[in-house]
Amino acid sequence: MAEVSGVSDMRSPYRTHGDSFDVDDLVSREPFLQFKNWFEEAKLEPNIEEANAMALATATKNGSPSVRMVLMKGFDKNGIVFYTNYNSRKAAELVCLTDTLLVRARTCLSYCYNLSQSWLNDINQASPPPKKPKLDKKQRDKLYDVEKRTREQVCLAATFLVRAGMSYCYIPSQSWYVLLQTFLVRAEENPKCSCMFYWEQLKRSIRVEGSVSRLSKEKSEEYFNSRPRPSQLGALSSNQGSIVDSRKTISDRFKSLSETYKDEDKTIPKPDCWGGYLVTPDLFEFWQGQTTRLHDRICFRRLATGEKVDEKLTHIGEDGWVFERLEP
Ligand SMILES: Cc1cc2nc3c(=O)[nH]c(=O)nc-3n(C[C@H](O)[C@H](O)[C@H](O)COP(=O)(O)O)c2cc1C
């Protein structure tokens, strides 16, 4: 019933054979200049409204993928910049292992774990190990001490997590340890991503793969302050990805914030949970479509350590890049 008809016949012409893209057409033997060249062309194409729109694919560490559109907001020799909410699904999947706050939070939790294990060991070493241990005063004091130190460390871990952008980190009294563990497991997802630009009018696309890192608070703030006020209020009003009862709840929030910041001279603060990412590319693929489906694909990648290449197939580029033509 919900079938869409005519899809299999949908077909639009791409480029013709005389208009192909070959290695000799590259403007550079490293991919950043080539990206800039194609991007500038797309930007100038009058029928492309948002040349900077890209699909961003992420995956959990178990390999479940997800993809969504975002806007590229910067490109230079370091890579691609985009902005989003650090509590969103993409951000949860992208959290970087190297994030020092998360590393510190994990250290606190392993300290708690070791502490409780050592206490359990002490109890279990009593022979026979008591099923429901009856604790003497010394053991009770030790347990109290372990609990106190654990609680301190868990609070510290929570502080680090909140500072790392996980502002929804709510700690109920009983299950705080388990909850924080869950956050940390989520936190250590997969800092790799792939971005895809498609410019239909030019029959071109660029695929980029790489690792992400968060921009500094200062850089994110600089960009946030340059945005139109309604966009700033929008970012402040939305906890991206959280379930909400109605549109009204969000628009009421927006209205109330608009009231608070109605004085144009009053700076709207960047929410802690909002900021930028830098994608550091390790692969670029330039694709140009042909009507015959013999599309052109030129892929730049980094050589693996110790990798030997066949120079008939792999071209040695500049700045540590190699490039290859791929079959369509
Ligand atoms: C053209 C376009 C541009 C978008 N740009 C952004 C963006 O720059 N940042 C962002 O967080 N979401 C952007 N969105 C919304 C995202 O696609 C997505 O709905 C949102 O980020 C939540 O994704 P997540 O739940 O996978 O984290 C854009 C959507 C479209 C269609």
DSSP code string of 191-228: -EEEEEEEEGGGTEEEEEEEEEEEPPHHHHHHHHHHS-
CA distance 50 to 72: 10
Query: Could you report the per-residue pLDDT of 9-59, keeping only the tens digit for each?
Result: 999 999 988 899 999 999 999 999 999 999 999 999 999 999 999 999 999
Amino acid sitting at position 5: S
CA distance 161 to 166: 6
| CA 220 to centroid of ligand 1, rounded, Å | 17
Nearest CA, atom 19, ligand 1? 68
Query: Could you report the per-residue pLDDT of 150-185, keeping only the tens digit for each?
Result: 777 777 766 666 665 554 444 444 455 666 666 665
Please report the pLDDT score of residue 213 as a whole number.
86
Query: Could you report the per-residue pLDDT of 277-286, keeping only the tens digit for each?
Result: 999 999 999 9
Q: Is 58 in the pocket of ligand 1 (CB under 6 A)?
A: no
Enclosing H/E stretch for 274 = strand 274-288
Answer yes or no: are the C-beta atoms of 39 and 51 closer than 8 Å: yes
- From 64, 68, 168, mutation site for ligand 1 pocket: most ligand atoms within 8 A of C-beta: 68
Query: Could you report the per-residue pLDDT of 233-274, keeping only the tens digit for each?
Result: 999 999 888 888 999 999 999 999 999 999 999 999 999 889
Please report the pLDDT score of residue 244 as a whole number.
86
Q: Is 67 in the pocket of ligand 1 (CB under 6 A)?
A: no
Top-confidence residue, 63 or 58: 58
Beta strands in the chain (DSSP E): 53-59, 65-76, 79-85, 192-199, 204-214, 274-288, 296-302, 314-316, 321-325
Please report the pLDDT score of residue 260 as a whole number.
96
The C-alpha angle 226, 213, 232, rounded to 5 degrees, equals 25
CA distance 182 to 163: 17
Please report the pLDDT score of residue 132 as a whole number.
60
Top-confidence residue, 130 or 228: 228
Please report the pLDDT score of residue 168 as a whole number.
42
Enclosing H/E stretch for 182 = helix 176-187
Please report the pLDDT score of residue 128 as a whole number.
58
Please report the pLDDT score of residue 148 as a whole number.
74
Give the closest residue to 187 by CA, choosing from 82, 291, 92, 302.
92
CA distance 201 to 71: 18
Enclosing H/E stretch for 44 = helix 31-44
Choice among 86-95, 159-168, 202-211, 299-308 with the minimum mean pLDDT: 159-168
Please report the pLDDT score of residue 137 as a whole number.
82
Q: Is 231 in the pocket of ligand 1 (CB under 6 A)?
A: no
Cα dihedral: 174, 180, 186, 187 (round 10): 170
Mean pLDDT of 132-145: 73
Please report the pLDDT score of residue 187 as a whole number.
57
Average pLDDT, the chain: 85
Rg (CA), the chain: 26
Share of the chain above pLDDT 90, in %: 58
Mean pLDDT of 108-132: 66
